[in-house]
Structure 1
Amino acid sequence: MKIYTFHRKQNLPISLEKGWEFLSNPKNLKTITPDYMSFDILSGADRPMYPGQIIQYIVTPILGIKTKWVTEITHVKDNEYFVDEQRFGPYALWHHKHFIKEIDGGVEMEDIIDYKVPMGILGQMVHPFLVKPKLEEIFEYRQKKLTELFGEYK
């Protein structure tokens, strides 16, 4: 069983409180997801984030195929981190840690995703040219969008 790790950091020129308010609001995920993915929250984003929260989405990651994705917020420490885990969706495993910390002149946002692709060896074969580039594309879009929203860190 091959488990992959995706890691990304971004610095933004905003306060910790403003960064946490944006990052921890599930409704903002649509804002930082590419439009072509047709990301829509079906349920679970009507309250502030809490451990045990179930959020259901519809997303179209590849080839126009709509996929239901259900995540659970398993851990939350205000103004520091939260963890979401896939309960149902496109991955065999999805464990996404979101960290935020104050730095000089802003905040550092860090994402660490441990994931496993489905379909065994076939999934591992398509990972380098389908799954990994798609994750990189999504997070490049996210980085660009966050810079548009909050400015460039200097």
Structure 2
Amino acid sequence: MIDNISLQILKILQEKARIPNVEVSRRVGLAPSAVLERIRKMEKQGIIDGYEVRLNPERFDRAQVAFVHVSTEAGYSEQVGAKLSDIQEIQEVHFVSGSDCFLIKVRSEDTASLGQLLQQRIMNIAGVTTTKTETVLSTFKETSRIPLPQSD
């Protein structure tokens, strides 16, 4: 179980992963060495899975976002999931219930490059039968933060 101080540390790190350890310790009221020890322990336990830099997709010509439903033939889900995961423009691959097998999130330059990706790479994966694409017109929220319980 994660105690309140560790929860506070996690909330701070989700807001700004590059925050100096001294600032985290000041906010939670612990010595910097104790905070560092807690962070390392949570990393070792797999509670903290890693640290990433969020880049502005528009600065890299990747402003077009689409969600694609990918249907497969029976028995191909493992292979298709692995092949989809290898495509650089695909940010997320989810095996889902319902009529489709996968829901993927794609970032591309524009609709033309999205169309090429769908036709030349995704539809050419063995076992893929159909795709249904929903393009994003605007984004109001996009985050990888996980809601954490309130600390006392």
Task: Specify the structure having the higher radius of gyration (Cα).
Answer: 2
More helix by share: 2
TM-score, length of structure 2 as denominator length: 0.33
More strand by share: 1
TM-score, length of structure 1 as denominator length: 0.32
